[in-house]
Structure 1
Amino acid sequence: MEHNSTFPIKQNELDMLRDEATSYLKTIQWEQGQRAKNRDKDAKDESILLYLSRANNGGGSADTVSVSKTILALKKRLLPESVALPIYLNQTLYAVQEGITMGIWIKDSYADASGLSGLSERKSTLDASGRREFESKQHTATAFMLFASAYKILYDLKPHASDDLSVMKQKFAGLPELSFMSPLKGWSCMLYYYDKYLSHPDIIKSDKDVIDFTVVYFEAVIAEIQLRKSSLEYTESISDRTYKLENSEFNISGWTNTFEGTAKSVEFNKIQFEQIVGNRDAKHFARRLTERLLSYDFTEQKNPFQELGGFMPVFMGYGIPGTGKSMLIAAIATRLKEHADNLNIPFLFHPMPDTLISTFQGGSAEKMVEWMKPLQDPSKLIFAPIDDAENNLQERTAQGVSAGVKEVIGVFLRYTEGAYAVNYGNSSIGLFTNLPEMLDKAVISRVQGRFKIDGARTEHDFVDQDHLWWRKLEQTMPSFVNMSNPEGYDYLSDQGLAKSMGDILSQVEKPSEERVLEAFEKTEKAHSETEHMFYASLYKEIQKIFPFFSSRDVRNIQSAISLRLTDFDLEKDWFDNPEVYFKKDYDTKFNMLQELMKSNMKGLNFSDIRRQEVVRYLDNVATIADTDFKRKVDARIAQMKVEREARERFE
């Protein structure tokens, strides 16, 4: 079956199930499992968990509760003088009822699609393997039913809940248990703890708390199902289809949870490029990135720079520790935010969280999908940095790499190229690392722009770095810094932005890496650098040295050259008066950029640029390939020196 067939959920079919849903709200029975009873031993919030675990006085018998009665009791406690059921309580009760109705419909639909209905009818005649299949499908049906129910409740209530649910989340002590044994047990268990929380006096202090708590509770239900869904079988007839509710935007597509796709921008420290010393290549790249993102057209949902070949959905900045990676991330975010505010454009700063790798099987993939989902939102500009990228995107074949890392990389590759990779030209992922050689090869091959973050490199850089530090002292105690200034150099004048990549790369003539240089010189004997065959033979030579060099690398070199052709400044006037360029329609912007590109190319020489970019890329490939081996050798040498010294001292 092709991936997404859509099935309608008809209102009249739901109407027939509503009485059953209401009966679960009126009364259910649940007998707590042993583990849930013992939850209070190591509870984070003694009072609430103790209360939950003693919910039926510790007796072994089943306990009967009624959600609808509890909600009426809340009305009496919170709003004694009100006659009708207050709006928030009413909304919640209605949403939960509709959610249960939806869950029942989904369970029936799964039972028909998966063959569970047929097994139920023949239940008394099933052999052992038939019974096993029946139970397994019953568990999956229950999990999907509870998922659909919680999902519909969130869909209806989330718009009415408070923006900040952190206080409620702190009061919430988790789900003691969630049963997938059978649909009836699923409903009973889920509603039992929902009811217990609602009746706890500390949880609900106002009628608005009822909506807020309900959202927090059913978010926890979804999280629990997501954690356990990898252990379910017979899920094909869940993941291959979408169910759409008629006359509504609501749909259920497998286990996807789109509420995770709405990300909020993360706070960051404001930093200007001038405060970063050295790093000319990195600063230049960062500035180009911001100008390109800002050219995105919200009406057409595309970016003229993508058509011109000058856009980088994935880029990488690498360099030794302490050269300013985190500062650079903040500087890019600062520049984007300032321009976006100025142009009245929504901007999302969306760094990858540190806590992505999960110890649960499938948990890391979940979290990674959750992080990458917002990157497909065409309604805002998105900068998504991954700092210390080697932690989460480490070479998969290396020893001891966790299953979580492999899951994260799998999701990253799927979303950056292939069927899922929608890039409108409004979002860019930046990998920042001290150890590019530790990154997975497939991840590196997705990188379309790369630059070195090498920190201070010249005397002027170092004098500027010191100046940034002591000028603060100068401001507080004017004559305290009693030293003379450099002759013929104004502080920070070297820290401005380069005009173009050509300024930075003009010194690049030949590769600096030995084996690349050798291949280069060997090719020069056979072809001139102005022949197309020069590069074809060079690539063949490189492949002999580095077997992993592939067509993908050649495409990356091509995109680096295209980037150079679009390596021009946007006119300053365009930023001061947005209507001149930024506010224009897509075609006008595209034509303006083409004109700029043509006038910029007059001073350029294609074969020069091609040579510079090829040399730069191949040197980079060689450095990355070598460093790993060199690091292992150095570590071994250091170890041997320590042992020798220890032996000598011991003797």
Structure 2
Amino acid sequence: MKCLPEDPYRLLPQELELIFAVRRGVCLYLSFANWLFDKTGQRDDADGSVDSVPTERLRAKQRFNSTYSLWVMANYLVAQCDLLLKGKDDTHLASVKPNFKFDPGKGFTRDLMLTLSYYADTLNSENSEGLRTVKQSDDILSVSRDFWKTVADKASALFPQTDPNLQIIVQTATFKYNEFVIQGFKVEYQAQAKATVWWSPVKEADIVSNDESVLQLKRLAHRIALYDVDRKMNPMCEFGTVYESVLLDGAPGTGKTMLMKFFITLLSSLSEQVGLQCVVRSLEASQVKSEWFGRSGRLVKEMTEAVTDPQSLGVLIADDVDLMVSNRDEPGTGGADRDILKGLMDFFSGVGTAFRGNYTSIAATNKPTATDDALRQRFVYRTIVRGPQSCEDFVDMTFLQLRRPAKFDLLDVGRGKYAPMSRKKSARVSAELKGTHKGSTWEDIGHYIEEIRHDNPFFTARSVKNALDVVIAKASDFDIPDNWFSDPSTFRTKPWDERIKMIRSLYTVKIDANMIMAALEEQRESEKRYELESYLKPRN
């Protein structure tokens, strides 16, 4: 049955997910029904006929058989719907209170068919105004969850009325299907074991140069750590200073991977201070590329769902993203590449996900033009990673590489005017947005964007949005006090409105037209560079 009639030619992703979940639920039902059919001796009582009801004793067994099997199936489908709705704002989704007669015991085939007919009626139901209950795709999941929760509750209410000798059969048994675990009359959905990403911890002092990238990643980690798990929202979202994605663009050997490790190390440390789990996922071709149709997309989705879990802090890492996802127009691009690209495009653009400020994603590339253009443009914050540039940078880099022999007095280098690791690092970033447009007005900004657009037709609204996101991030030119994380009473336990005022008091920079136009110019130059590199790229 089509749940949404707007598109009669294909099933929506939510419908496909639900169909597979229902199919697995039916398999669970039949598996338990057949198991109980043998364990309760019904095969002997019914002479091999599953649906015959010759005696009251057999009717009681069939009633328990179907009740327990439907209870298992219903709980499984409730858990599946919860997983599919995870991270989504369900306050505006449809809700139902199904009203149907739950009276199993007519044979497990008939009981299943009757329950599924009630389910179909619920999906096709109308409200008091005569309008369909299911109005949007996610309504299918919320209505399904309500229905199967009702089935589970009705089945639970019947257990006390069943024969205690039958209850003993399942009371001491444990069943497991993937993460779905049943112990007697208790059920739980165990979260998948968190994949551990092993990395060597990197501290700020271990990084040479790339000062602005270090500062921005440091501040992003601190802002994510202010996330309120009870409210499921980050107060920094009110200011727009947490963002979903960062692209590190630089030549090989400039320190992109080091910056990623630094961010993971810092966010992990902060998550321990605030008492939340830090979920880290590393997107690698060997983990997600599959020859099976649709499997790559599913694996990417599992990773992104783990990172966006509203009960934790998270980061998705994609090193060498140009090797992971090539331009869709490139020769040799296969189905797995398109599945991965589609999954990442949905993730970065926030489709179906309410950004709560508890996660981010960091990608790195040596060749940005080798990555799909639309995917590259979806990164909110793009920063150029240049690596060591000055004499002092190279002194520091050499010193850090020789730390181990230095520990054992195996290093003898004369001292000059510059002592290793004494270079003062930048503590501010707003200076990067100095321009020549002081005193400009709203109209000046509009004309400037129009001028850029005329010069480059590919400078779209997304390019403007990315530039403005950079302005917002750089205007937040302050560090979060350390005690806001270490001492809950200083910030995290205060009322929401008070926390907002405390954050506002840290601001010292106001966004002006000059900063906006300078950021637009940076974005313009960035787009020009990508366009030039793409033009000069060798073609097969």
Partner of 2:339 in structure 1?
Answer: 407
Question: Does 2:33 align with 1:22?
Answer: no
Shift of 1:490: 2.9
Q: Quick one: distance in 2 between partners of 1:596 and 1:435?
A: 38
Q: Which of 597, 601, 619 is equivalent to 2:525?
A: 619
Q: What is the identity, as a one-letter code, of the residue corresponding to 1:491? A: P
- Does structure 2 retain, via aligned residues, the 8 Å contact 1:316–1:451? yes
Q: Which of 482, 492, 504 is equivalent to 2:412?
A: 482
Q: What is the identity, as a one-letter code, of the residue corresponding to 1:500? A: R
Shift of 1:356: 0.9
- Does structure 2 retain, via aligned residues, the 8 Å contact 1:382–1:428? yes
- The Cα offsets for residues 394-437 of structure 1, whole Å up to 9 and x where unpaired, read as 22222221211111121222233355122111011112211222
Partner of 1:628 in structure 2?
Answer: 534
Match of 2:282, SS state, is coil
Q: Quick one: distance in 2 between partners of 1:279 and 1:320?
A: 13
Q: Quick one: distance in 1 between partners of 2:535 and 2:458?
A: 16
RMSD over aligned Cα atoms: 4.2
- TM-aligned CA distance change 1:533 to 1:416, over 3 Å: same
Greater Rg by CA: 1
Q: Quick one: distance in 2 between partners of 1:583 and 1:112?
A: 46
- Does structure 1 retain, via aligned residues, the 8 Å contact 2:222–2:270? no
Higher deviation after alignment, 318-327 or 441-450? 441-450
- TM-aligned CA distance change 1:616 to 1:402, over 3 Å: same
Instruction: Give the 5 Å matches for 1:74-223.
Output: 98=72, 215=177
TM-score normalised by length of structure 2: 0.66
Q: Quick one: distance in 2 between partners of 1:333 and 1:16?
A: 45
- Does structure 1 retain, via aligned residues, the 8 Å contact 2:289–2:337? yes
Q: What is the identity, as a one-letter code, of the residue corresponding to 1:349? A: V
Q: What is the identity, as a one-letter code, of the residue corresponding to 2:415? A: N
- The Cα offsets for residues 528-564 of structure 1, whole Å up to 9 and x where unpaired, read as 8713333333333333443322111111111111112
Question: Does 2:259 align with 1:328?
Answer: yes
Match of 2:208, SS state, is coil
Q: How many residues align?
A: 414
Q: Quick one: distance in 1 between partners of 2:387 and 2:521?
A: 22
- The Cα offsets for residues 575-605 of structure 1, whole Å up to 9 and x where unpaired, read as 55442124433322211001112xx12xx56
Q: Quick one: distance in 2 between partners of 1:307 and 1:411?
A: 27
Shift of 1:100: 12
Q: What is the identity, as a one-letter code, of the residue corresponding to 2:419? A: D
- The Cα offsets for residues 587-633 of structure 1, whole Å up to 9 and x where unpaired, read as 22211001112xx12xx562332233222222211122221222328
Q: Quick one: distance in 1 between partners of 2:430 and 2:363?
A: 24
Partner of 1:589 in structure 2?
Answer: 499
- Does structure 2 retain, via aligned residues, the 8 Å contact 1:283–1:497? no
- Does structure 2 retain, via aligned residues, the 8 Å contact 1:323–1:453? yes
Match of 2:246, SS state, is strand
Match of 2:324, SS state, is coil
Q: Quick one: distance in 2 between partners of 1:18 and 1:342?
A: 45
TM-score normalised by length of structure 1: 0.56
Match of 1:629, SS state, is helix
Question: Which structure features the higher share of helix residues?
Answer: 1
- Does structure 2 retain, via aligned residues, the 8 Å contact 1:314–1:430? yes
Instruction: Give the 5 Å matches for 1:168-567.
Output: 215=177, 263-354=194-285, 355-417=287-349, 419-476=351-408, 478=409, 480-487=410-417, 489-494=418-423, 497-503=425-431, 505=432, 509=435, 530-567=440-477
- TM-aligned CA distance change 1:25 to 1:622, over 3 Å: farther
Q: What is the identity, as a one-letter code, of the residue corresponding to 2:316? A: A
- Does structure 1 retain, via aligned residues, the 8 Å contact 2:179–2:190? no
- Does structure 1 retain, via aligned residues, the 8 Å contact 2:278–2:314? yes
Task: Provide structure 1 residue ranges, at least 5 long, that are not aligned to the other structure.
Answer: 28-93, 115-151, 156-207, 220-246, 251-257, 511-523, 637-651
- The Cα offsets for residues 327-355 of structure 1, whole Å up to 9 and x where unpaired, read as 21111111111222123222212222432
Shift of 1:461: 0.6
Q: Quick one: distance in 2 between partners of 1:260 and 1:401?
A: 34
Q: Quick one: distance in 1 between partners of 2:360 and 2:113?
A: 40
- TM-aligned CA distance change 1:573 to 1:22, over 3 Å: closer
Q: Which runs of 4+ in 1 moved over 4 A?
A: 3-7, 14-21, 24-27, 94-114, 214-219, 247-250, 258-262
- Does structure 1 retain, via aligned residues, the 8 Å contact 2:307–2:313? no
Identity over aligned residues, as a percent? 18
Q: Quick one: distance in 1 between partners of 2:326 and 2:512?
A: 36
Q: Quick one: distance in 1 between partners of 2:400 and 2:489?
A: 37
- TM-aligned CA distance change 1:500 to 1:23, over 3 Å: same
- Does structure 2 retain, via aligned residues, the 8 Å contact 1:302–1:425? yes
Q: Quick one: distance in 1 between partners of 2:267 and 2:32?
A: 50
Q: Quick one: distance in 1 between partners of 2:316 and 2:205?
A: 22
Match of 1:584, SS state, is coil
- TM-aligned CA distance change 1:622 to 1:285, over 3 Å: same
Match of 2:316, SS state, is strand
Q: What is the identity, as a one-letter code, of the residue corresponding to 1:475? A: K
